[in-house]
A and B are shown apart, each in its own frame.
Chain A
C-alpha cells in the first residue's frame, strides 16, 4: 500500500451472531495520521467493528482492509504494526510495570524505549511495582503503554479512559496528542463525547449496527443540527428560536430576561442522531442515509450510503 491509501478501509461491513445482526453494513475510511472516533451507545456495534479490524472477530460480510491487509488473515508482521488497547483486562499482574513493558517490547522489531514509555504514561514512580498492586486507572495506563510499546502505525483504543478520574483523563489526552504528533493513526471508541471532541479529527456515529453519521467532529450531524438556539423569557413566558443569525435576533429582542445563546454541543448533536435512530427504524434508515450523504459533501470523505 502507498502512503495515500487509507490505513483502514471498511465497505459494507456486516456481522451476525446467529439470528442477531450486530452490523448492518458499515462503510468508512481512516486516513494516515488521522484520529477517528467511533461513537455510539452500548451495543450499537462499536466494539464489534473494532474487534473485526483488530482480527479478533471474523466478519459475516463486506470488506475490511487494515494497513492493506484483510484482518481475518493478518500475520505476525501485520500485528507488529498494530497497537491494541482492549476494553478491560483482569490479568494476574505478577510482574512489575517495567518487567511487563520490557517483555512486550521484545516481541516487536522496533520498540519504543521502555523508560520513555513509562514516563509518557506517567508511571515513573510505579515502574518497579507489581501490576496487580496498581489502581484501576494506573493499570489502564499500563494497558496503553503496552499498546504503544511496539511503535504502532495504527493504534486501537477501545474505551480507553473508562474509570479514569478527570485529572488522569487529561493526562491521557496529552499522551494521545503526543502520539498523534508523531503521526500515529488512531481509531478510538468512547462514550465520552468531550474525549472525542478533544482527540478526534473525524468521528462516525454507530447506532443499531448502522453508521448514522460521519464527518469532521465540528461538522458532525450536518449544519442544521448546529444551528444556534436563542432562549429568553418575557411577559408571555419562555421562548426559543433556532437561528443562523443569533446576533440579529438578540439585537431585535433588546434586554429580555434569562437571555441565552446556545450552540449545540457535540453531545446535543450526538444525542439527536442516536435518539432519531432509536425511535423508528424504518424512517431513520432514510434519515440516516440523508445525513450521511450530507456529511459526504461536507468533509469530502468517500462514503457510500
Chain B
C-alpha cells in the first residue's frame, strides 16, 4: 500500500520535472509531432494509396500511426533509459538508495510518468492530425479499443525495456550517444519513417524480432483503411502476433530490469 502511494507521489513528481526539462520535452514529447508535420507538408501532394471509399490517403493519414508508434518508443524506451542513466551518474539514485523509498515505487513513478506523457503526446498527435491535417479518424469503438490495448501494452513494454537498458550506458554523458542510435535504427527498419511494405523481406524479418514494428502494425490497424491489410506480412494485421511479441518483450524487459537495476554500482 505504502509502495503504491509513494509510486503515485513519484509519478506526479516525475511528470512535473519532465515538463520542466526543455530538452526532453522537445526530443521526446514534441518530436513525433514535428516529424508528422514535416512529412505531412513535404508529401502533401503525394497519394499513399486509396481508401475504402476510393479517396486518396494523405501523407498525414499514412504517418499518423507511424508517429504514434514512434512516440511510444521515444517516451518509453529512449526517455526512460537516458533519464535513469543520468540519474545514476548525477547522484539522484544514490540519494534515493539512502532513503526508505522502495525501488518498486521508483519504477511505478517512472512508468506512470511515461504513461501520462505518452497519453498527452498521443492525444496531441491525434488532435493535430484530425484538426490541422484533416486525417479521417476511426469512428468504430472496436478500433479505439484496439488503440487502447496497443497503446497500453506498447507504452509499458517500452518503459520497462528503458529501465532494463538504462544500465547499458557507462555514464550519464554517454547515455544519449548509446541509446539514440538504437531507437533511430529501430524507427527506420520498423516502418516509422519508411513504409514497412517497401522494405526488403530480410529487413522486415529483422524488424519482426523487435517490438517497435509490432506497435506500428497495431497503430496501422487502427488508423489505416482495411484495404491496407494486404500490404502487411502475410496480408494480415496479425493482432495476436502483436500481443505475443509485445508481451514477450515485456517479460524480457522485466527480467533485464530485475537483473541489472541497482541504486548504485557496488564495487566488489
Contact = CB atoms under 8 A, between A and B. Distances in A.
Interface of A: 17-18, 54-58, 60, 76-77, 79-80, 82, 84, 86, 88-92, 94-95, 99, 103-104, 106-109, 130, 146, 150
A107 B266 contact: no
Contacts of B101: 76, 107
B108 to A, nearest CB: 14
Closest 8 CB pairs of A and B: A89-B91, A84-B98, A80-B100, A94-B20, A76-B100, A94-B17, A90-B90, A79-B100
A108 B16 CA distance: 21
B98 A91 contact: no
A189 to B, nearest CB: 15
A146 B266 contact: no
Interface residues of B, number: 24
Contacts of B98: 54-56, 79, 82, 84, 86
Contacts of B267: 17, 57
Interface string B1-28: 0000010010001001100110000000
Contacts of A18: 268
Interface of A is mostly: loop
Contacts of A80: 99-100
23 contacts: A17-B268, A54-B98, A55-B98, A56-B97, A56-B98, A56-B264, A79-B98, A84-B99, A86-B91, A86-B98, A89-B91, A89-B92, A89-B94, A90-B91, A91-B87, A91-B91, A92-B92, A95-B16, A103-B13, A107-B100, A107-B101, A108-B100, A109-B100
A297 B91 CA distance: 42
B102 interface: yes
A84 B20 CA distance: 27
B170 interface: no
Contacts of B16: 94-95, 99
Nearest to B12: A103
B34 to A, nearest CB: 23
Contacts of A88: 91
B182 to A, nearest CB: 23
A136 to B, nearest CB: 14
A91 B21 CA distance: 13
Interface in B1-59: 6, 9, 13, 16-17, 20-21
Contacts of B99: 79-80, 84, 104, 107-108, 150
A58 B267 CA distance: 8
A106 B95 contact: no
A18 B6 CA distance: 39
Contact of B94 (A60, A77, A86, A104): A86
Contacts of B87: 91
Contacts of A17: 267-268
B93 to A, nearest CB: 10
Interface of B: 6, 9, 13, 16-17, 20-21, 86-87, 90-92, 94-95, 97-102, 264, 266-268
Nearest to B97: A56
Given A86-B94, A88-B91, A89-B95, A103 B102 contact: no
A57 B95 CA distance: 14
B13 A91 contact: no
Contacts of B102: 76
Given A92-B86, A95-B17, A58 B100 contact: no
A231 B123 CA distance: 83
Contacts of B266: 56-58
B199 to A, nearest CB: 39
Nearest to A83: B98
Contact of B9 (A79, A94, A103, A108): A103
A79 B102 CA distance: 11
Contacts of B97: 55-56
Contacts of A103: 9, 13
Nearest to A56: B264
B247 to A, nearest CB: 31
B94 A58 contact: no
Contacts of B92: 89, 91-92
Contacts of A56: 94, 97-98, 264, 266
B9 A106 contact: yes
B168 to A, nearest CB: 21
Nearest to B101: A107
Contacts of B268: 17-18, 58, 60
Contacts of A82: 98
A99 B9 CA distance: 12
A106 B102 CA distance: 12
A91 B95 contact: yes
Contacts of B6: 106-107
A146 B87 CA distance: 17
Nearest to B16: A95
B100 A77 contact: yes
Given A17-B267, A76-B100, A108-B100, 19 more contacts: A18-B268, A56-B97, A56-B266, A58-B266, A84-B98, A88-B91, A89-B90, A90-B90, A90-B91, A91-B90, A92-B86, A92-B90, A94-B16, A94-B20, A95-B16, A103-B13, A104-B99, A106-B9, A109-B100
